[in-house]
A and B are shown apart, each in its own frame.
Chain A
Amino acid sequence: MSRIGVFVCHCGTNIGGVVDVPKVVEAAKQMPLVVFADENKYTCSELGQASIRNAIDEHRLDRVVVAACSPRMHENTFRRTVAAAGLNPYLLEIANIREHCSWVHSDHDEATVKAIDHVQMAVAKVARHEALFPKTIGLTKRALVIGGGVTGIQAALDIAATGHEVVLVEREPSVGGRMAQLDKTFPTLDCSACILTPKMVDVAQHPNITLLSYSEVKEVRGFVGNFEVDILKKAKMVDHSKCTGCGTCWQKCPGKVSSEFDLGLGQRTAIYIPFAQAVPNKPVIDLENCRYQTFLKWDESQGGKKPPECRICEKICPTKSIDWEQQDEIVTEKFGAIVVATGFKTFDHSVYGEYGGGRYPDVISSLQLERLMSAAGPTEGEVVRPSDGAHVKNVVFVQCVGSRDDRVGRPYCSKVCCMYTAKHAIMLKEHDPDVQCYVFYIDVRAGGKDFEEFARRAQDESGAIYLRGRVSHIYQDGKNLKVLGEDSLIGRPVEIEADLVVLATGMEASDNADTLAQTLNISYTIYNFLIEAHPKLRPVETQTDGVFVAGSAVGPRDIPECVAHGSAAAVKAVALLSQDSLKSDPLTSIVDPMKCVGCFACKVVCPFNAIEEQVTRDKRTVSSINENLCKGCGLCVVACRPGAINLRGFTSQQLLSEVLTLVRE
């Protein structure tokens, strides 16, 4: 038989001013299994807590009900109290007679009756509580960072600095991400590559970091501290253990294709590094465009001339690193924590028919302009028109292309475009004082350190003409483009003859961000941006313990924010990895394998993939709960018709007992 003690709190006059506390105490004494009841002025005070501890001792209480404020306030306080007296902390129940009673009811009698009912419910529930014990689980003290942009680089370096091993997975042949494509950064006009490349090199050289470039995360199993991850290492066709990155192959390769890194403005070879400062500085072979592959795939029956065998790279490689036998390979690695930093891509402006729908070569995206401005870019920093290579004089910028526009399903602000456009206007003027820039904008959003000053500088010093309004139409008129728009501040249509139009394309989640999120069992928005556990207070954590998010994979962010979030995620990961073991919350579901019929409705509804299949000794396949993954929502309990699953702390028996105290008086 249980021996339950009930402690009713006055909370000063917060409860006692409305609820007749002595009456509640008297009623509690009459309740089944209650052997002791008392009142306190402030139960949460040291005095009040001591009275609970003493009563547990004195009256050999094995369960405790505290009737006081919301359990959301002091449940943990009182768990510690009863634990200090030697009880299992889960043998406690709170009756909420403040927030749910004395604070919302003024009739003393009614409030007292309700308080008694709430105490009675808590007594009935606590009688069915069981002692629960958190499980201790081990952990792998390694971190996986997904995405090798500036965010992932920062996270990897910070984790590695604490002595933990890090694997950095990047799906492109080089780390660097979007930042590597930029020319300068706002508002300081630092050279992007100059500040990024040292970090890229640090990643490559750090003894604690393993860089897996040209690789992708395919499958994630396990749970916090104990993830098992399948990583696809795409075949590079080059043995990087032999290759010295001398560059002979990519200088001689005759297979020329449009460069992804230069966004179609330049060319690369079939065996390539994406850009000169790539890390690793060793090439991969793009099989689709490799001449030897074309030769191998050539089918005589289709006629035509047999292509040359090529294999030039193989012939000239001084270290014999070309390996035609290489295959895609899946490696499985164990990690304790995962940081997701998959970044963004830019909006595809071809859906905007009024801007030419991608048909005009001289209507380019801002990221393309970055490549044109970059000294390492396809034009070596000369800003010329893609159509005829002429130097530009009149440049029109259009803001909010794929941002703040419901029509294209992108109602959100991409946050960085106002600033990078200001940067472009300033830089173009610096390149050539004869350039005139026009900027069509909705609002100039310049919230940030030195941002407003920077945006003003574009207008005041660089003479960019800012026109508030949208562009309605762009069309090719001879060699130039005509830009029709509205200056909504004076309510007049505007017509500008431009030789280059730059569209400030917004930020979108990177390709397959949703698939990866599903693999990791973390949430994502309808725009495929990842969702943090709490937007204010847990900005780098997720609903899945041990998985952290950072950078622009979560939403539009600029470089300093990405770096800060990369570091933040690193700290959270390190805080996890520096523990010797983890404790799991015992308020999880539990399966009675005798009752389970193996319909696996529970498995279908579980949002956390916590239901596993287990074969019993009598060869039945039944559910079992992975308590490390279970978050205690109880969805499985309701899905289970035979009642084989129960939820600790909120068992069906407990809830039913509570209900029955109310209806069977």
Chain B
Amino acid sequence: MASDFTQQIREKARELLEDGTVECVIGYETGSDGISARPAFIYNAADVERLVFDNTCTHNLVKYLLNKKAKSTAVVVKGCDSRALNLLLSERQIERDKAFVVGVVCPGIVESRWNERSEQLQKRCDWCRQHTPVVSDFMVGDPVTEQPPADFADVAEEEAKTAEERAAFWQQQAERCIRCYACRQACPGCYCTDCFAESLDPEWVGIRIAPAESQMWNTIRAFHLAGRCISCNECERVCPVNLPLSLLNRKLEQKVLELFDYRAGMSEDAPAPLITFKKDEKLGIAE
């Protein structure tokens, strides 16, 4: 299947580059370890053979569309990535007519790192309810029936602890955070040119590397993604100290689903939950 996907992507890429539909195709190629995929930027039809698709294609390439100066670009997206596309379209960060979307019905992505590849599916693939891209101009693979709603066992497990234990847990995590902001750089929803974390006035996050400041960063990072996180979990994957960032994202994802019946990035038009409201809704606030 994977080789078939690769073939289809190459053919489409060739066609798009040759007929001038796009200037660049952003896809995956095999990395220099010969094992895991890495992003590839193909400008010439002659180079399309570099493109591959397999179960190590972890990166969310949509992030690369944020370059507003780019001309027409084709991008390979998995189900989760496609939701990022909708998010960015609704937030007017990319122009639909400049993007050609090659959707791939995702077979699931495995844990892999330099020179290492397991057959263990990534956590996000366990949770995933969107293997088929929600937006595409060309679809690779047959759309699949999606699984019924995921449970949030990981969140529930954390919630079973006492408040004190939870506070201690996150305190420990904050002590480990080195505030490298890799989570931010990988996240398709984090595209601000000026991040609150680096604002000196107001100084939301102090410049020292201290647990309280890291806690502030991690809390607000998660909250800024409330109702916007598309569950690609790239933030957690790229974290060099393995902070359990997915817990925060998924806690909010669960609440957003429960309170607003909303999943981010499922359509371009549905307004994100925090920029809309219903007059008569009951949210457990001052009722």
Contact = CB atoms under 8 A, between A and B. Distances in A.
Interface string B197-231: 00101111000000000000000000010000000
B162 interface: no
Contacts of A621: 92
A102 to B, nearest CB: 28
B194 A604 contact: no
Contact of B192 (A597, A652, A653): A597
Contacts, number: 47
Given A639-B275, A642-B193, A642-B194, A601 B199 contact: no
A656 B194 contact: no
A653 B276 CA distance: 26
Interface string A632-655: 000000010111100000011100
B7 to A, nearest CB: 38
A658 to B, nearest CB: 11
A620 B192 CA distance: 13
Given A597-B93, A601-B91, A642 B202 contact: no
Interface in B141-200: 191-196, 199
Contact of B202 (A598, A601, A656): A656
Contact of B92 (A599, A641, A642, A652): A599
A503 to B, nearest CB: 32
B271 interface: yes
Contacts of B93: 597-599
A641 B276 contact: no
B194 A644 contact: yes
A643 B199 contact: yes
Nearest to B271: A604
Contacts of B282: none
A598 B193 contact: no
A600 interface: yes
B196 A605 contact: no
Given A599-B93, A620-B68, A641 B224 contact: yes
Interface residues of A, number: 20
Looking at chain A's contact residues, the main secondary structure is loop
Nearest to A603: B275
Contacts of A601: 91, 272, 275
Contacts of B196: 641-643
Interface in A106-133: none
Interface range for B: 20 to 34
Most buried by A among B68, B192, B199, B271: B192
B286 to A, nearest CB: 18
A276 B192 CA distance: 66
A656 B199 CA distance: 13
A595 interface: yes
Contacts of B224: 641
A605 B202 contact: no
B275 A604 contact: yes
Most buried by A among B201, B274, B275: B275
Interface in A547-604: 594-595, 597-601, 604
B192 to A, nearest CB: 4
B92 A604 contact: no
A595 B272 CA distance: 21
Given A599-B92, A599-B93, A641 B202 contact: no
Contacts of B92: 598-600, 621
Contacts of A594: 193-194
A594 B196 CA distance: 14
B199 A604 contact: no
B87 to A, nearest CB: 10
B202 A643 contact: yes
Contacts of A651: 202
Nearest to A656: B202
Contacts of A639: 274-275
Nearest to B220: A641
Nearest to B88: A599
Nearest to A652: B202
Nearest to B191: A597
Interface string A592-627: 001101111100110000000000000011000000
A253 to B, nearest CB: 49
A600 B90 CA distance: 9
Contacts of B274: 639
A130 to B, nearest CB: 13
B226 to A, nearest CB: 11
Interface string B72-110: 000000000000000000011100000000000000000
Given A605-B275, A653-B202, A642 B91 contact: no
A643 B191 CA distance: 13
Contacts of A604: 271, 275-276
A595 B194 contact: yes
B91 A643 contact: no
Given A604-B271, A604-B276, A620-B68, A595 B193 contact: yes
Interface string A300-335: 000000000000000000000000000000000000
B249 to A, nearest CB: 16
A643 B202 CA distance: 9
B140 to A, nearest CB: 30
A652 B195 CA distance: 15
Contacts of A605: 275
A653 B201 contact: yes
A577 to B, nearest CB: 35
Nearest to B223: A641
Contacts of A652: 202
A650 B92 CA distance: 28
Contacts of A620: 68
Given A601-B275, A643-B196, 9 more contacts: A595-B192, A595-B194, A597-B191, A598-B92, A599-B92, A600-B92, A605-B275, A641-B196, A656-B203
Interface of B: 68, 91-93, 191-196, 199, 201-204, 224, 271-272, 274-276
13 contacts: A598-B92, A600-B92, A601-B272, A601-B275, A604-B275, A604-B276, A620-B68, A639-B274, A643-B196, A643-B202, A644-B194, A652-B202, A653-B201
Interface of A: 594-595, 597-601, 604-605, 620-621, 639, 641-644, 651-653, 656
Q: Which 8 A-B pairs have the closest CB atoms?
A: A642-B192, A599-B91, A595-B194, A604-B275, A652-B202, A656-B202, A653-B202, A642-B194
